[in-house]
């Protein structure tokens, strides 16, 4: 009972500012209208840039989640003394201002042999770095909750090799952490503005860039696009969460009883 | 890697002194004698700084692919969209400018410099003082359009590295639904009926038109660019009275009505007034305060490493032609060649009366600007924001 | 059988095995190391190096001296305060919500809340500030509604302002709480029901269970998540600027003025402030790792 109250209050708080945007976009004076949302249907740019952002998000999730799951586990098993260093490194993206990071990346990667400026790849790699604190923390939280050493030794006693051990025993037990990491990374990419502006700009325009552009000249449509972005990200995370349930060999009971 | 900032400054100062001295010796006012200045200054883009013929520019632009990449020139600012469209229909040059329109002056120049090995941006629009910063850091290349001579000397770099395109004047945009009376002066804003209404473009330590608002308030309270303290104290008073709120004066806040009085450049307030009206938002009235209003030009710079320099030059040729200048006027900006233009009556009717512009103080003294900005940087936080 | 084996054979073999193992360990860290070095440390190094280059081009500590001016120290103070406050609020409420999710019943409701948290954890910056202003701004619909129905003006009568320090806390909480939820769920989910049952069969009450099993297991991940919330708030720029326009003195806003604006430009000072931020975050990490070491005593 009390759980339900907590969740309802929480949800009400999260919904509160959204009501303001809905109020702004659904009312023209005193007239109720869906025109600002329907505008997106005929907007080719909207569709193109949403696809760009989704593509970037998927690529970033794939790289960052696999990289951090592997690395966190590796350090946990083989070099636990390095954990503090790993943690410090994972917090660094918070202290470097986005503009500074962007300019630094442009300077370094505009020179041969590695000319990446203006490409989606550079942006993806930068996003992997930006997502570092969240993916590491999410995976690590999952890792610390299970006694992976025991699990690992148990599997080893059954004769499985290291990699096999990782894929079939550890990953399924880590699943909640991995899913959290994926969701956090996904929403980060869908909302990131500054790096996208500096590193690619119009070369691979992302949805937040487009939203900002529209915002300057047509705030109602821009706000509607923000709500649509909200809904699309939400829908995508529902898909991710749904797909994650159907993954084989999970210890599902641990997550959602 | 880049050479040290000190070296860059020294090298540029030396070059400029040499050329200026030459001009003085030839007894010229620097008009149309760029060719003389070019003699003896050695290898440099100076050879390109004089106006080039249209055919040469078109040929060059065609070789570049008829593309132009602009930074810091958003579509709804001084009618850049109209001007880019006109350049497209006239020269066939496609301009990419929309996402990067969001870059501030500092960001534009930093991006030009950071990407110099693999440059992307061609042209930028920066605040008046940034022209000199760009020159000192060696980020821009010179070009003097065929209309160079008609631009006043204090609004351009003598060597052609930057040139003022247009300016705006400080104005109030008043939400007539929320404000019962229209303020005509800065003092009027202290009236309690403007509680929680007065806004500027966010932070005067970061946005230039917010800084210009503080300077205008200074002029209205017995101060000047050399003494901005009265302006800071005015805003402190306004905040204490509860009239000043730290909301960004922009189209969105005008459309929601949150910005009861938006203090910004005329070209922003007037254009947004029209847009808001068009989108059935509140009715705004734009007033230029009679007791203190400053103006500041914005300047055009071409990236030293621009991948499409001829397209950039063609753009400038158009911008400073009558058609381009009228295009700026359509965006409510005061074009730099205003005095020479014949303004169609329909356009003139939409502008505020010329008399309100005449009292505006032009902020073109770079040293005074820098000093005033330092004062605002130090005092705005403690005095106004608390 | 030849009995003449060399005397240090086993020791050398052991050393070789250790070296081989260390090499393999290092090899596993190469992907991560490559990413961090290539895309974080190298561009970030510019920030550190640039902090030591003064405006006149000479190397030295001039920028750091200027970074110690009262307005910057105040910025650090305010930034730390708001980060600690929003981290603690987020941690407590987020943990409670995460617990409610994991041990609640309806799976669909849980999925709903988790996915909603995913979106809101990164709904920040201009859109979030705008959303709160349209709701609780001077002419926000809730403000207007309360004025119309209760004849009370939030701004004039109650002194409330969404642009104030606590307004910013309210807005920061919007992305901090969901972030905590998403980080706490995996940790809480790891608390096996079997442990609770085992503790009960051994005669331990709820209090004992939490003290000896629950909290020690949960503390490291939850405190780690709180540290993340702290850093997340500490580095937040767009939300703070959009909402307060620099009215609240925060370090990222001071940095933004120096490199993002149209008025002044001072990369050296901005970099020095960035180095200051690094020191604060590093200190926060050290503190929380110290706290974790204490609780690790109870594990195993």
Three-class secondary structure of residue A112 per DSSP: coil
Across A91-105, B80-94, B209-223, C185-199, least confident range: C185-199
* Mutant choice from A2, A11, A17 vs C, greatest count of C C-beta within 10 A: A17
Q: Are A132 and A64 in contact (CB under 8 A)?
A: yes
Q: Do B208 and C246 touch (CB under 8 A)?
A: no
For the domain A51-219+232-246, what is the CATH code?
1.10.3720.10
pLDDT digits (tens, 9 = 90+) for A30-66: 788 888 888 888 888 899 999 999 999 999 999 999 9
Residue B9 has pLDDT above 60, yes or no: no
Number of other residues whose CB lies within 10 A of the CB of residue B156 = 21
Q: Do A197 and B117 touch (CB under 8 A)?
A: no
Taking the Cβ of residue A218 and every Cβ of chain C, the question of whether any pair is shorter than 8 Å is answered with: no
The C-alpha angle A221, C153, A30, rounded to 5 degrees, equals 35
The Cα of B196 is separated from the nearest Cα of chain A by a number of Å equal to 19
Number of other residues whose CB lies within 10 A of the CB of residue C293 = 11
Calculate the average pLDDT of chain B. Answer: 85
Residue B123 has pLDDT above 70, yes or no: yes
How many angstroms separate the Cα of B317 from the Cα of each of A234, B58, B91, B145, C300? 49, 11, 11, 6, 77
Q: Do C163 and B381 touch (CB under 8 A)?
A: no
| Within-domain flag for C16 | no
Residue of A nearest to B107 (CA): A99
Q: Do B207 and C262 touch (CB under 8 A)?
A: yes
* pLDDT value of position A5: 86
Q: Do C139 and B385 touch (CB under 8 A)?
A: no
Name the CA radius of gyration of chain B, rounded.
Answer: 21
CB < 8 Å to C178, chain A: 14
How many angstroms separate the Cα of B160 from the Cα of each of A180, B16, B357? 56, 11, 27
Q: Are A49 and A210 in contact (CB under 8 A)?
A: yes
- Report the residue from B258, B377, B385 with minimal CB separation from C138: B258
The Cα of A155 is separated from the nearest Cα of chain C by a number of Å equal to 19
Write the ipTM. 0.85
Q: Is residue C33 very low, low, confident or very high in pLDDT (cuts 50, 70, 90)?
A: very high
Q: Do B280 and A28 touch (CB under 8 A)?
A: yes
Taking the Cβ of residue C156 and every Cβ of chain A, the question of whether any pair is shorter than 8 Å is answered with: no
A113: preceding bond cis by omega (within 30 degrees): yes
* Mutant choice from C47, C59, C127, C261 vs B, greatest count of B C-beta within 10 A: C261
Residue position matching structure tokens 């998000």: A57
Q: How far is the C-alpha of A193 from the C-alpha of A215, rounded, in Å?
A: 13
Q: Do B211 and C263 touch (CB under 8 A)?
A: yes
Q: How far is the C-alpha of A112 from the C-alpha of B118, rounded, in Å?
A: 9
Q: Do B203 and C253 touch (CB under 8 A)?
A: yes
| Within-domain flag for C220 | yes
User: What are the φ and ψ backbone dihedral angles of C287, each rounded to 5 degrees?
Assistant: -60, -45
* pLDDT value of position C199: 73
Taking the Cβ of residue A95 and every Cβ of chain C, the question of whether any pair is shorter than 8 Å is answered with: yes
Q: Is residue B350 very low, low, confident or very high in pLDDT (cuts 50, 70, 90)?
A: confident
Each residue's pLDDT expressed in tens, for chain A with a length of 257 residues: 777 888 889 999 999 999 999 999 998 877 888 888 888 888 888 999 999 999 999 999 999 999 999 898 888 878 888 888 898 899 999 888 888 899 899 888 888 777 777 788 999 999 999 999 999 988 888 887 676 666 666 566 665 566 777 777 777 778 888 888 999 999 999 999 999 999 998 889 999 999 999 999 899 999 999 999 999 999 988 888 887 776 544 433 333 33
Q: Do B206 and C249 touch (CB under 8 A)?
A: no
Q: Which domain holds residue C223?
A: 48-298
Q: How far is the C-alpha of B278 from the C-alpha of B281, rounded, in Å?
A: 7
| Within-domain flag for C7 | no
Q: How far is the C-alpha of A21 from the C-alpha of B133, rounded, in Å?
A: 41
pLDDT digits (tens, 9 = 90+) for C80-135: 999 999 999 999 999 999 888 887 766 777 788 888 999 999 888 889 999 999 99
- Percent of chain C at pLDDT > 90 equals 41
| Within-domain flag for C10 | no
Q: Do C139 and B206 touch (CB under 8 A)?
A: no
Name the CA radius of gyration of chain A, rounded.
Answer: 21
Name the pairing type of β-strands B140-141 and B294-303.
antiparallel
Number of other residues whose CB lies within 10 A of the CB of residue A74 = 20
Query: Higher confidence at residue C206 or residue C61?
Result: C61
* Binding partners of A (≥3 Cβ pairs within 8 A): B, C
**Total count of domains within chain C:** 1
* pLDDT value of position A148: 60
Question: CATH code at C214?
Answer: 1.10.3720.10
The Cα of B324 is separated from the nearest Cα of chain A by a number of Å equal to 21
Q: How many CB pairs (< 8 A) connect B and C? A: 109
* pLDDT value of position C187: 83
Residue C185's Cβ-count burial label (10 Å; 0-12, 13-18, 19+) is buried
| Within-domain flag for C92 | yes
Three-class secondary structure of residue C155 per DSSP: coil
CB < 8 Å to B103, chain A: 197
- As a three-state string, the secondary structure of chain B is CCCCHHHHHHHHHHHHHHHHHHHHHCCCCCCCCHHHHHCCCCCCHHHHCCCCCHHHHHHHHHHHCCEEEEECCCCCCCCHHHHHHHHHHHHCCEEECCHHHHCCHHHHHHHHHHCCCCCCCCEEEEECCHHHHHHHCCCEECCCCCCHHHCCHHHECCCCCCEEEEEEEEEEEEECCCCCCCCCCCHHHHCHHHCCCEEEECCCCCCHHHHHHHHHHHHHCCCECCECHHHHHHHHHHHHCCCEEEEECCHHHHHHCCCCEEEEEHHHHHHHHHHHHHCCCCCEEEECCCCCCEEEEEEEEEECCCCCHHHHHHHHHHHHCHHHHHHHHHCCCEECCHHHCCCCHHHHHHCCCHHHHHCCEECCCHHHHHHHHHHHHHHHHHHHHC
Residue B11 has pLDDT above 60, yes or no: no
Taking the Cβ of residue C163 and every Cβ of chain B, the question of whether any pair is shorter than 8 Å is answered with: yes
Half-sphere exposure of B103 (CA within 13 A, CB side): 32
Q: How far is the C-alpha of A181 from the C-alpha of A73, rounded, in Å?
A: 14
The residues pairing with B297 across neighbouring beta strands, listed in sequence order, are: B167
> B interface toward A at CB cutoff 8 Å?
69, 74-76, 96, 98-103, 107, 110-111, 114-118, 120, 250-252, 255-256, 275, 279-280
Q: Which two tokens stand for residue C280?
A: 């604060």
| Within-domain flag for C1 | no
Evaluated on CA atoms B210, B212, B213, B218, the torsion sign reads: positive
* pLDDT value of position C19: 80
Look up the pTM and report it. Answer: 0.86
CB < 8 Å to C62, chain B: none
Q: Are B95 and B120 in contact (CB under 8 A)?
A: no
Q: How far is the C-alpha of B71 from the C-alpha of B66, rounded, in Å?
A: 17
| Within-domain flag for C38 | no
pLDDT digits (tens, 9 = 90+) for B37-54: 333 333 445 555 778 888
Name the pairing type of β-strands B244-248 and B334-335.
unpaired
How many angstroms separate the Cα of A8 from the Cα of each of A141, B382, C112, C229? 26, 42, 12, 23
Q: Which two tokens stand for residue B51?
A: 């106006």
Residue B139 has pLDDT above 80, yes or no: yes
How many angstroms separate the Cα of B114 from the Cα of each of A99, B118, C33, C74? 11, 9, 25, 32
| Within-domain flag for C17 | no
How many angstroms separate the Cα of B269 from the Cα of each of B91, B280, B314, C224? 31, 16, 29, 48
CB < 8 Å to A216, chain B: 74-76, 101-102, 250-251
Q: Are A109 and A115 in contact (CB under 8 A)?
A: yes
pLDDT digits (tens, 9 = 90+) for C205-254: 777 777 777 777 788 888 889 999 999 999 999 999 999 988 899 999 99
């Amino acid at each position: 009972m009390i759980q339900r109250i907590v969740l309802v209050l929480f949800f009400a708080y999260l919904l509160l500012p959204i009501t303001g945007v809905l109020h702004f976009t659904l009312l023209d004076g005193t007239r109720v209208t869906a025109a600002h949302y329907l505008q997106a249907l005929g907007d080719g740019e909207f569709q193109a840039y949403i696809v760009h952002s989704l593509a970037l998000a998927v690529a970033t999730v794939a790289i960052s989640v696999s990289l951090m799951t592997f690395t966190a586990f590796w350090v946990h098993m083989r070099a636990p003394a390095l954990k503090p260093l790993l943690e410090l490194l994972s917090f660094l993206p918070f202290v470097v201002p986005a503009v500074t990071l962007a300019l630094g990346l442009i300077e370094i990667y505009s020179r041969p042999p590695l000319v990446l400026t203006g490409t989606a790849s550079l942006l993806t790699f930068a996003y992997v770095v930006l997502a570092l604190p969240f993916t590491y923390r999410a995976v690590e939280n999952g890792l610390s909750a299970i006694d992976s050493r025991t699990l690992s030794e148990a599997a080893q006693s059954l004769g499985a090799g290291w990699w096999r051990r990782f894929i079939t025993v550890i990953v399924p037990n880590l699943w909640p952490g991995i899913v959290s990491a994926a969701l956090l990374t996904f929403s980060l990419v869908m909302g990131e503005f500054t790096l996208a502006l500096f590193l690619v700009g119009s070369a691979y325009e992302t949805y937040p860039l487009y939203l900002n552009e529209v915002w300057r000249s047509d705030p109602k449509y821009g706000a509607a696009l923000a709500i649509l972005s909200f809904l699309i990200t939400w829908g995508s995370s529902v898909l991710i969460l749904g797909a994650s349930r159907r993954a084989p060999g999970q210890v599902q009971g641990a997550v959602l009883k | 890697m880049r050479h040290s900032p000190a070296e860059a400054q020294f090298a540029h100062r030396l070059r400029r002194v040499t050329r200026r001295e030459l001009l003085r010796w030839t007894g010229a006012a620097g008009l149309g004698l760029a060719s003389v200045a070019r003699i003896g200054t050695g290898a440099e883009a100076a050879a390109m700084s004089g106006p080039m013929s249209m055919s040469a520019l078109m040929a060059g632009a065609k070789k570049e692919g008829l593309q132009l990449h602009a930074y810091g020139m958003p579509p709804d600012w001084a009618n850049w969209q109209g001007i880019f469209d006109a350049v497209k229909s006239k020269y066939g040059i496609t301009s990419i400018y929309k996402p990067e329109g969001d870059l501030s002056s500092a960001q534009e120049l930093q991006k030009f410099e950071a990407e110099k090995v693999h440059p992307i941006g061609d042209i930028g629009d920066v605040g008046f003082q940034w022209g000199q910063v760009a020159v000192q850091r060696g980020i821009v290349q010179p070009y003097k359009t065929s209309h160079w001579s008609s631009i006043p000397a204090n609004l351009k770099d003598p060597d052609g590295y930057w040139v003022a395109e247009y300016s705006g004047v400080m104005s109030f945009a008043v939400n007539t639904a929320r404000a019962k009376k229209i303020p005509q002066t800065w003092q009027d804003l202290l009236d309690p009926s403007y509680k929680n209404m007065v806004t500027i473009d966010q932070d005067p330590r970061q946005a230039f038109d917010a800084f210009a608002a503080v300077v205008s308030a200074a002029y209205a309270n017995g101060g000047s660019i050399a003494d901005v303290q009265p302006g800071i104290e005015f805003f402190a008073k306004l905040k204490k009275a509860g009239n000043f709120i730290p909301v960004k004066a922009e189209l969105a806040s005008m459309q929601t009505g949150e910005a009861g009085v938006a203090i910004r450049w005329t070209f922003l307030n007037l254009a947004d007034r029209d847009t808001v009206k068009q989108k059935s938002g509140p009715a705004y009235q734009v007033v230029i305060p009679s007791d203190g209003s400053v103006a500041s030009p914005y300047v055009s710079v071409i990236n030293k490493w621009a991948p499409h320099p001829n397209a950039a030059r063609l753009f400038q040729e158009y911008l400073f032609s009558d058609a381009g200048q009228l295009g700026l006027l359509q965006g409510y900006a005061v074009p730099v060649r205003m005095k020479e233009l014949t303004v169609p009556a329909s356009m003139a009717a939409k502008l505020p009366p010329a008399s309100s512009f005449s009292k505006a103080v032009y902020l073109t003294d770079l040293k005074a600007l820098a000093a005033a900005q330092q004062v605002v940087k130090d005092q705005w936080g403690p005095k106004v924001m608390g | 059988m030849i009995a003449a084996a060399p005397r240090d054979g086993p020791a050398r073999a052991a050393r070789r095995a250790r070296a081989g193992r260390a090499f393999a360990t290092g090899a596993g860290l190469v992907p991560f190391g490559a990413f961090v070095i290539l895309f974080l440390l190298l561009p970030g190094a510019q920030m550190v190096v640039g902090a030591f280059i003064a405006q006149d081009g000479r190397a030295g500590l001039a920028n750091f001296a200027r970074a110690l001016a009262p307005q910057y120290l105040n910025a650090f103070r305010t930034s730390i305060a708001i980060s600690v406050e929003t981290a603690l609020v987020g941690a407590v409420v987020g943990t409670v919500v995460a617990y409610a999710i994991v041990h609640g019943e309806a799976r669909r409701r849980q999925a709903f809340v988790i996915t909603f948290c995913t979106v809101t954890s990164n709904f920040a910056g201009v859109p979030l500030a705008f959303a709160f202003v349209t709701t609780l701004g001077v002419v926000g619909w809730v403000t207007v509604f309360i004025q119309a129905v209760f004849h009370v003006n939030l701004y004039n009568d109650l002194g409330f302002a969404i642009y104030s320090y606590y307004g910013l806390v309210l807005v920061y909480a919007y992305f901090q709480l969901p972030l905590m939820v998403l980080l706490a769920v995996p940790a809480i989910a790891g608390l096996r029901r079997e442990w609770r049952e085992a503790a009960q069969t051994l005669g331990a009450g709820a209090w004992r269970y939490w003290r000896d099993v629950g909290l020690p297991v949960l503390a490291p991940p939850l405190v780690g998540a709180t540290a993340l919330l702290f850093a997340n708030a500490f580095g937040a720029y767009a939300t703070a600027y959009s909402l307060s326009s620099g009215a609240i003195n925060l370090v990222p806003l001071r940095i933004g003025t120096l490199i993002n604006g149209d008025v002044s430009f001072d990369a050296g000072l901005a970099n020095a402030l960035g180095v200051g931020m690094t020191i604060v975050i590093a200190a926060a990490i050290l503190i929380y790792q110290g706290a974790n070491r204490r609780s690790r005593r109870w594990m195993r």
